[in-house]
Chains A and B, each alone.
Chain A
Amino acid sequence: MAGFATTRPESGVVTMKRSERIEIFAHTARTRSESFPTDTGVLGRLRAAGRAAFSAAELPNPKTESWKYSRIGPLLEEGLLDHAPVGAAVAAMPIPGLATQSMVILDGIPQSLPAFTPGVSVTSFAALTDAEAVVVEAHLGRLAAAPEKPFVALNAALLEDGLVVRVAPGADAALPIELLIAQSDSSTPRGVHPRVLVLVGQGARATLIERHLGTAMAFTNSVVEVVLEDGAQLDHLRLALDAGHGRWLSALDVELGRNARYNLWQAQLGAAFRRNEIRIGLAGEGAEVTVSGAGLTRNNDHLDNQLCLEHRVPRGTSKQLFRNIAGETSRGILNGRIHIHRGAQKTDAQLHTKSLLLSSRAEIDVKPELEIYADDVKCAHGATLGQLDANALFYLRSRGLDANAARSMLSFAFLAEVVDGFPVDAVRAALRPALAQAFAAPAEEESP
């Protein structure tokens, strides 16, 4: 394999052009994918489809609109397509007071599964029976298949194994289901491709807590697909509270049936690279979606949320609320696309975002995109961008709080509107100290 030049120009080594690095990445990925068997079963068929789609797809280039603000560079570094042996699991910090039933995907590989409560079943793709495979394959890859998503294709092409979570029709899974997408303690650069399909049956209810854990330099290219049948409800909490060297690219594709409800809450810190590509399709009338996101980036971290709400049928509602804070030289990105299809009358779609810059060198890019082909809809969006209120800072300091504590308190307050809405008490309680710690951490020394 050709080496990647990662040294800076001043070291005297000629830096490779980005287009060349992309080409090498694609070539390496194709070569690697050929070592995965594609002959049988759900896994084989998914890999074969992924391999074909990846070969046909074009990786993002500087002109790709949806990647305009996300630097692809961090994904192209050496070793991020290699598969390293799984190291020891790092004990995931449990959330105090939170009881869950957990599944773990460690370095891309599903770990042995515990027993789940009645109405909930989790199976690895490799262990699916032929009858189950038929059900699963009706959905698997359908939602995430898109020519503009080469990394979703790559996930399928390099898939070790995945998990399918099923909540039986009518079941009320009171105990939250926890999905840990975790890095092992290995420090070898590597690429891992976690994959999960969640099927929530008619009228069923469940809570999914998805946590992304790890700070090592690994490329975690996850794909989660969620299908909510008619009248189903899922509360989906996504926590990514480890900053660090990780490259996290996460596709989330959701489809809602008639009168289904999907509530997504995200609390995320930036990392060397963190990007979420979220597409939520309202495919049945009367479906309801809420999305609430709190994001904080510090140092030179990166956090990109690409959302696309597809209102395909009438009487759907979607409400999105985001709070983003960027400090130091970090970058936060929010692209909120709302696509109201022809005939999707009586749609009510809202997107509200507020952003806060803590430093003159931080950057936040917010872009609402409305595409509306129906004439009887409500569609509202609002975006504000600001700095901490000097009066409030003075007020807190005049009561003895030092400037840093005052800034943390005000920044936290800014996120509170989202964080206080998290539906699981123990998660809400854990977010406060986690975010407070992220605010309090001193800024890293900038490299000269």
Chain B
Amino acid sequence: MLKITNLHVTVADTPILKGLTLAINAGEVHAIMGPNGSGKSTLAAVLAGRAGYEVTAGGIEYLGRDLLALTVEERARAGVFLAFQYPVEIPGVSNMEFLRASLEAVRSHRGEPNLSAVEFMKLARATSQQLQLDPEFLKRGVNEGFSGGEKKRNEILQMLLLQPRLAVLDETDSGLDIDALQVVADGVNALRSPERAIVMVTHYQRLLDHVVPDYVHVLADGRILRSGGRELALELEAKGYGWLRNDAA
């Protein structure tokens, strides 16, 4: 589904990713771990198409297409979803209005009919409840005055509504208490299916207790330093990132 080959990315002329290669198949859940500054969030940003990230070499193929040739919204419509590490507050746009416009954009691209206002309300309310978000949040400004945990749950709400093919979760576990973590993890697990891939970018392995990955990759200094199964995350937790660096050296 996703083939990243020898990806080099610079931000403001500073090289961040330096030859990252990674293949992700439909149905798989991958965790990308690594110390701060290793390039995890850069990878997430490049996948979603954020401005300011320059790809200087290598490429990304998504469902057989050149992902980098697509605009931000084309990627979203083609099924790429980024759950933001820092979801943006947009006062004046209601969450409901935002979710509906977004769902309409994605559905119409897929050739699916628009939901009626009533159908949409039902779906949005049911999904909110699944995430233990008060449906009142739908009426508020997008992320406006939401707590950190509420913002993250709102990201998962969007993900569940949009039903992406490739979900990239950027530090979705940060700032969550243990109950919220369970709710978010349940949401992510609900999305697991043979047609989808999920990439979790995380600093800690605690989310991985709840969403068990098929593969774990350690990113350091802009490259995949090591790949393995679930046990690699546990080993990292026990030994720290220093262990791998020394090992590699």
Q: Which of B73, B84, B158 contacts A397 (CB 8 A)?
A: B73
Across-interface contacts of B72 in A (CB, < 8 A): 394, 397-398
Show the binding face of A for B, using Cβ within 8 Å.
389-392, 394-403, 405-406, 409-410, 412-417
Q: Measured between C-beta atoms, what is the minimum distance from B109 to chain A in Å?
A: 7
Bound complex: CA of A382 vs CA of B101, how far in Å?
Answer: 33
Across-interface contacts of B82 in A (CB, < 8 A): 398
Verify if B105 is at the interface (C-beta below 8 Å from A): yes
Verify if B106 is at the interface (C-beta below 8 Å from A): yes
Verify if B199 is at the interface (C-beta below 8 Å from A): no
Across-interface contacts of A402 in B (CB, < 8 A): 73, 105
- In which size bucket is the chain B interface? 20 to 34
- Asked whether, in the complex, the Cβ of A399 is within 8 Å of the Cβ of B92, the reply is no
Q: Measured between C-beta atoms, what is the minimum distance from A82 to chain B in Å?
A: 44
Verify if B87 is at the interface (C-beta below 8 Å from A): yes
Interface positions of B from 89 to 108, Cβ below 8 Å from A: 90-93, 97-98, 101-102, 105-106
Q: Which of A389, A391, A401 contacts B102 (CB 8 A)?
A: A401
- Asked whether, in the complex, the Cβ of A400 is within 8 Å of the Cβ of B77, the reply is yes
Bound complex: CA of A112 vs CA of B71, how far in Å?
Answer: 57
Q: Measured between C-beta atoms, what is the minimum distance from A149 to chain B in Å?
A: 36
- Asked whether, in the complex, the Cβ of B76 is within 8 Å of the Cβ of A392, the reply is no
Q: Is the interface of A mostly helix, strand, loop or mixed?
A: helix
Verify if B49 is at the interface (C-beta below 8 Å from A): yes
Please count the residue pairs between chain A and chain B whose beta carbons lie under 8 angstroms apart in the complex.
76
- Asked whether, in the complex, the Cβ of B105 is within 8 Å of the Cβ of A405, the reply is yes
- Asked whether, in the complex, the Cβ of B105 is within 8 Å of the Cβ of A409, the reply is no
Chain B residue with Cβ nearest A411: B92
Bound complex: CA of A414 vs CA of B91, how far in Å?
Answer: 8
Q: Measured between C-beta atoms, what is the minimum distance from A5 to chain B in Å?
A: 46
Show the binding face of B for A, using Cβ within 8 Å.
48-51, 71-73, 75-77, 81-82, 84, 87-88, 90-93, 97-98, 101-102, 105-106, 109, 141, 158, 162
Across-interface contacts of A405 in B (CB, < 8 A): 101, 105
Across-interface contacts of B98 in A (CB, < 8 A): 396, 399, 409
- Asked whether, in the complex, the Cβ of A399 is within 8 Å of the Cβ of B51, the reply is no
Bound complex: CA of A397 vs CA of B102, how far in Å?
Answer: 9
Q: Measured between C-beta atoms, what is the minimum distance from A387 to chain B in Å?
A: 14
Bound complex: CA of A254 vs CA of B72, how far in Å?
Answer: 51
Bound complex: CA of A294 vs CA of B91, how far in Å?
Answer: 16
- Asked whether, in the complex, the Cβ of A413 is within 8 Å of the Cβ of B105, the reply is no
Bound complex: CA of A403 vs CA of B71, how far in Å?
Answer: 10
A-B contact pairs, 23 of them (CB 8 A): A391-B88, A392-B90, A394-B48, A394-B51, A394-B88, A395-B87, A395-B88, A397-B71, A398-B75, A398-B76, A398-B84, A400-B73, A400-B102, A401-B101, A401-B102, A402-B105, A405-B105, A406-B73, A410-B93, A412-B93, A414-B92, A416-B91, A417-B92
